[in-house]
Amino acid sequence: MNTTVASSNNYFTANLQDLIKYPTSGIISKVLLKDNNSQYSLFCLAAGTEIDKHTSTRNALITVVEGRGNINLEGKDIALASGVFVFIPANVSHAVQARENLAFVLALWEHFSSKKVISQQTIDLVKSTAPILKQHGQKITTRMYEIMFHNYPEVKAQFDMSAQANGTQPAKLATAVYSYATHIDDLEALKAMVDKIAHRHVKTHVLPEQYPIVGECLLQAIQDVLGDAATEEVMTAWTEAYQILAEVFINREQHIYQSALQS
């Protein structure tokens, strides 16, 4: 269950003990208040509940109200008990376990230093490759998957291999890459496409740390297919462009993951 208690437009005060309600199993969360940059939620976990390892693109702060549990931060276990205060920097993996009924306030706020602004030179260079991508896009994405499945065979389990065999997956990715190249200076126009792909990534459990793998293979495929047209300037521009796009997807997917945890 996920309910919003207050709006950030007004001052807000509450007795957290009055808001605590434990489910028989799983999690109940209440959004205490939120605005465009931050969110404060009360999480109530039934004894034995676990939140699997995940990361957030936002800084996080856990303040335990009552109960006992454990949080694992990048392999290090930290005991949770009443009054414990834990700061989790953006993009740090963590998992939570409730040893008994556990209630804590989770504060999330934007990690502004991670945001990047794409350069005009990169925009111009990437847009200049759009005609080539339109002509050779599926050849590039087919090559990308060949490289990725050869170098990182463990990721195959996250893909529909029948869609690889019949070419539909490379075709879809080629369309997405071409759309990005033509709208790199207007990402708002790609919002629907990003949202659709992000939900599919969440369904197949794509993780932030897998984006560098895809980027490495995509850039190599672009270089392989374009040959002499893949100049140093073009590859530098596409490297920057991919990093920006990866951040867009990671941010959207983390919001989807977090919404699922709070529902």
Q: Which helix (H) or strand (E) holds 69?
A: strand 69-73
Q: Are strands 85-88 and 94-98 parallel, antiparallel or unpaired?
A: unpaired
Residue 113, pLDDT score: 45
Residue 160, pLDDT score: 85
Q: Which of 187, 183, 182, 190 is nearest to 132 (CA)?
A: 182
Q: Are strands 38-45 and 27-34 parallel, antiparallel or unpaired?
A: antiparallel
Partners of 97 in beta bridges: 50, 70
Q: Which of 144, 133, 138, 223 is nearest to 178 (CA)?
A: 133
Q: Are 249 and 198 in contact (CB under 8 A)?
A: yes
Residue 262, pLDDT score: 53
In 74-215, the DSSP E strands lie at 76-80, 85-88, 94-98, 102-110
Q: Which of 214, 222, 241 is nearest to 143 (CA)?
A: 222
Q: Mean pLDDT of successive 10-residue segments in the chain (263 residues)?
A: 51 86 92 79 94 82 97 93 93 91 90 64 94 94 95 88 90 94 89 90 84 93 92 93 89 76 54
3-class DSSP state of 97 = strand
How does DSSP classify residue 54? E
Q: Are 39 and 2 in contact (CB under 8 A)?
A: no
Residue 158, pLDDT score: 85
Q: How far apart are CA 13 and CA 232, in angstroms?
A: 57
Structural domains present in the chain = 2-113 (2.60.120.10), 116-256 (1.10.490.10)
Residue 11, pLDDT score: 72
Residues marked as catalytic: 211, 253
